[in-house]
Structure 1
């Protein structure tokens, strides 16, 4: 990338194929050998300086590595005036404690002294959603190896039932269970809830909290129930939104200003859909075994092949990079 125009083929061949650890090794060596104004430069930062558009963004985010990229998405939505809170939810929720520690350690934003907790505390408005994000950032979720006694499970089942039946509130108690318990524990809670109360808690929770809290709870519980199916659904949504974008409500406005405003909004919405695809595809590619399961689930559920839909939804160098991320063999 020392030349004025970077060789995108080299970026496409190398960056998507590396594991997280290999990428960290590359970053160390790159900084040692590549100087800008006499100082070593981070390969991710160099990619950002030299490339543009969706290709530039996906190459940059991948070069950040498995954990720094999640911190990027966690605070990206407010920097870009994005209404896509999915970027934040998917980056942080349902994480194991070691992952949360890595994400917090890798976070970089000088305005918040490189503290993701401080960033979220300042940028999110004071509500239950912020409370859930900050709770998750504590990194004190029940470990998957911690098997709690049956009475703990039964208490959580009753807590969730009471939270759903409460006329007002109940969301804080619900979040205390869903955000802070392990996947294995939550699976037992959901099964017991279904036996005892003859209901589907995940569905009932979304009905009660048809808001950001509901979305957050649904994301965690869908992952608990079947993570490959959840991630296949998220990938499918992102791709279909690009292949078959929603039509504007008023495509034939008579006012030029309104039409221009509508066009600008549509362009912004389309860019947000690309960002969802980038975040989901990059996240999946770090775990090739999980990606393989997601691809099989995708084909079984939707009767389509991921690579074919990626090819249809994207173009140019961006498409080539996306296709490389889809490879499950190293």
Structure 2
């Protein structure tokens, strides 16, 4: 007869008992969370007795974008989907990219993963989002001005993505996983395969629960144990998974700035194209961890031009996705972008940065349509023509996040593997970030196959080896 764990006489397993790695202050209050889609039946590995039936758990959310509009607690039912988070179901059989550029004012026929509901510059065949009554009486904000006071236009505040609320964990008994992890590292040698097999399938809140349970049940720090038992890129990948989305982004932001030189690619990946809620969560975690404001560190590490873009983005004052773009305002924004670049000897970088930093993804798509209709060129090609270096990469990252985040990530992953040698550090960071959302991950794999004619997993398998290879493949499966 197998051993049955006694019922705990303490708070439910998964409740954090100490601060997460890097924090020097008491942890945030714990929040409740429902059971995942496809959770194992009662009595199976990792599932609590009396677990809620399948289907009562909010679906996997898009990593790096706000979830559906909710009440005070994450997981509350939502009458209105938050744009940029819940993509409409995708047909099976391959990646479905946006159609060629439609006529002016007409939305694309097929939405890539993560695009919002019907509106100017958004995919059709869905009802338009509800607009707050005051928004109808509020003009589009003047170009180039901060949006901090534009509450009626801004719409309802976005909610943090899955894994961006500190202290939030999945429910259930995760002692079996904690035991398996300890067994893999206890005694002589380390069972790297067991570590990968246990950690790779976890979603952000399950990972947080396993880490907390390891601390309370085993009495040890999982992060420190893995760090001491593993090495190389395997260790980097496992530690990134253990940290979870918020703390890994926080650590990456610090790493991008720290030391000689700036890791511009890492700064772009972590800080650009993010929702207001996720950016605010990263800023708060950064200051709690490193006792210094992220905005000051970023400003002191970049040139004037790119510093202005990141300063505007870090204000976290993007227009809300639930507000449909104003066609007249989008035409003005497109005209302003052209006048700030092609119509000048020297680009007005401040004006361009302000537009990109304040615009929602829905608005960026609408501006692109208006720009194409007026100037017969895509905004992407215009950026490539008018800018260079880090500024070009940063603006393209924001543009591609709005247009098709799955294709954006497919291109970023290929960038890690193309050319002479593999950029392993980038590959680890980007694979871990993609793996947090299974729906988005599948979209990325289809986008990669469509763009490059290869299967992403096989491409990664050919660029890596050993336990490092096993981890990268397991995270992408």
Sort the Cα spacing of 1:46 and 1:134 in 2 relative to 1 into closer, same or farther, 3 A. Answer: farther
- Superposed CA deviations along residues 243-274 of structure 1, whole A, max 9, x for unmatched, are x53xxxxxxxxxxxxxxxxxxxxxxxx6xx11
Deviation at 1:173, TM superposition (A): 0.6
Deviation at 1:57, TM superposition (A): 0.6
Matched, 1:143 2:320: yes
Mapped to 1, the partners of 2:213 and 2:295 lie a distance apart of: 31
> After TM superposition, where is structure 1 displaced by more than 4 Å over at least 4 residues in a row?
80-83
Determine helix, strand or coil for the equivalent of 2:329. helix
Counterpart for residue 255 of structure 1: none
Deviation at 1:53, TM superposition (A): 0.6
Counterpart for residue 173 of structure 1: 351
Alignment of 1:1-330 (within 5 A): 1-3=185-187, 5-35=189-219, 41=221, 43-79=222-258, 81=260, 84-107=263-286, 112-113=290-291, 115-122=293-300, 124-164=301-341, 165-241=343-419, 244-245=420-421, 273-327=423-477
Mapped to 2, the partners of 1:136 and 1:47 lie a distance apart of: 35
Q: CA RMSD in A?
A: 2.1
Deviation at 1:80, TM superposition (A): 5.7
Specify every segment of 5 or more residues in structure 2 that has no aligned partner in the other structure, as ranges: 1-184
Q: Which has the larger radius of gyration?
A: 2
- Superposed CA deviations along residues 72-131 of structure 1, whole A, max 9, x for unmatched, are 222213436465411110111000112212322333775x40543343234x13512122
Sort the Cα spacing of 1:169 and 1:303 in 2 relative to 1 into closer, same or farther, 3 A. Answer: closer
Mapped to 1, the partners of 2:368 and 2:375 lie a distance apart of: 10
Mapped to 2, the partners of 1:7 and 1:299 lie a distance apart of: 33
Mapped to 2, the partners of 1:82 and 1:48 lie a distance apart of: 26
Contact in 2 for aligned 1:71/1:103 (Cα 8 Å): yes
Higher relative contact order (CA 8 A, sep 6+): 2
Mapped to 2, the partners of 1:57 and 1:92 lie a distance apart of: 20
Determine helix, strand or coil for the equivalent of 2:245. coil
The structure with more helix, counted as a fraction of residues = 1
Worse-matched range after superposition: 43-52 or 155-164: 43-52
TM-score, with structure 2 as normaliser: 0.58
Determine helix, strand or coil for the equivalent of 1:219. helix
TM-score, with structure 1 as normaliser: 0.82
Sort the Cα spacing of 1:46 and 1:300 in 2 relative to 1 into closer, same or farther, 3 A. Answer: same
- Matched residue pairs, number? 292
Specify every segment of 5 or more residues in structure 1 that has no aligned partner in the other structure, as ranges: 246-269
